[in-house]
Amino acid sequence: MKANLEDIARASGVSKMTVSRVLRGGSGFSQETRDRVLGVAERLGYVPNRLAAAFGADQAGTLVGMCVPRLTSGLFGHVLDGVDRALGRLGYQLMIGANNHSPEEEEGWIRQVITWRPAGLILSGRHHSPGTVDLLRNAALPVVEIWDLTTSPIDMSVGFSHFDCGVEMGQFLLRRGRRRAGYVGALARADVMGAARREGFESALARAGHPLIDSEILQDAPGFYAGYYGLETLLSRRADLDVVYFHNDEMAIGGLAYAQARGIRVPDDLGIAGWGGMEAASILPRRLTTTIVPTTMIGKAAAEALVARLKGEKGQDVTVVATRLVPGETG
């Protein structure tokens, strides 16, 4: 249960007005009273209700907070659109934040957002700091973890397995006769979901007896130019590769541009595969080999699951959303 001013007043042995003055940093009470009230507030896990302070309301039931890895991500733009449209239709409003692939930044954002008493939260991924897990369990509000599927969510999960995406692409490229694979990634030591795809890819290759030859994982954010110079760097070390799997479609398209600039024939000399289903990948001269992710559907399903929980309706704790491998012409 969420602690309120009355709970703190009762446990502290002072009036509700005194508690309010202490928490606002006011005066008119002793240091001993202040310390006692603040100690009880901390013990009970109290967080201030900004909306109540601003509008005199005890509850704010229509705000939903959503935290994504990057606001510049094209894929998450579609997820946000799916969430926003579904929430708007159901009478809720969206508050958006970004964690830059940092569990610590996510925790800080959640600490701020829950002071507004949101109706629920939608979080990207399943890897959170211990502080975040404690906050969410103490806040007693619905939480949907999206994008990276977990079968043991904090509350609810909507998504797919990034590891399985990598496995599927590895198996597909092996069936096409590829035997000397490389990988180009981004956000080294930050994007755990991208790392999971790479691990799945490596796993499929290793099981078939053709382990990953080499990889180039950049500190930079994924993008066209990162894919361009990532492939350039990788091939400068291993010119004998016959296929390269990229962190996402943007980087794969950058790799295609590098191959074209250097006269490398795709897919004859080098196969190239991406991930994500970026719209531009479908209108290239050769359709990109990639995995399509139903981004808008994920957002819609997450919003509907959260609102159903708020209304007390029974639903699934775990919702698996299917991805689709597109063979394309570049792999």
CATH fold group of domain 63-161+295-323: Rossmann fold (3.40.50)
Residue among 204, 215, 201, 67 nearest 127 (CA): 67
User: 227: which strand partners?
Assistant: none
- Right CATH for 5-46 from 1.20.210.10, 3.20.20.70, 1.10.10.10, 1.10.260.40: 1.10.260.40
pTM (whole model) above 0.85: no
- Please give the distance of CA 96 from its chain centroid, rounded to a whole number: 12
Q: Establish whether domains 63-161+295-323 and 162-292 are of one fold.
A: yes
From CA 158, how far away is CA 186, in angstroms rounded?
24
Q: Where are the domains of the chain?
A: 5-46, 63-161+295-323, 162-292
Pick the CATH number of 162-292 from 3.30.420.40, 2.130.10.10, 3.10.129.10, 3.40.50.2300: 3.40.50.2300
Q: Output phi, psi for 103, to 5 deg.
A: -60, -30
What's the order of all strands across the beta sheet hosting 181-185?
214-217, 181-185, 243-246, 271-273
**pLDDT tens, position by position, for the chain (331 residues)?**
568 888 999 999 998 888 887 887 767 789 999 999 999 988 888 877 655 554 444 444 788 999 999 888 888 889 999 999 999 888 888 999 999 889 999 999 999 998 888 999 999 999 999 999 998 988 889 999 999 999 999 999 999 999 999 999 999 999 999 999 999 999 877 889 999 999 999 999 999 999 999 999 999 999 999 999 999 999 999 999 999 999 999 999 999 999 999 999 999 999 999 999 998 888 899 999 999 999 999 999 999 999 999 888 888 899 999 999 999 999 9
**In whole angstroms, what is the distance from residue 239 CA to residue 219 CA?**
22
Residue type, 180: R
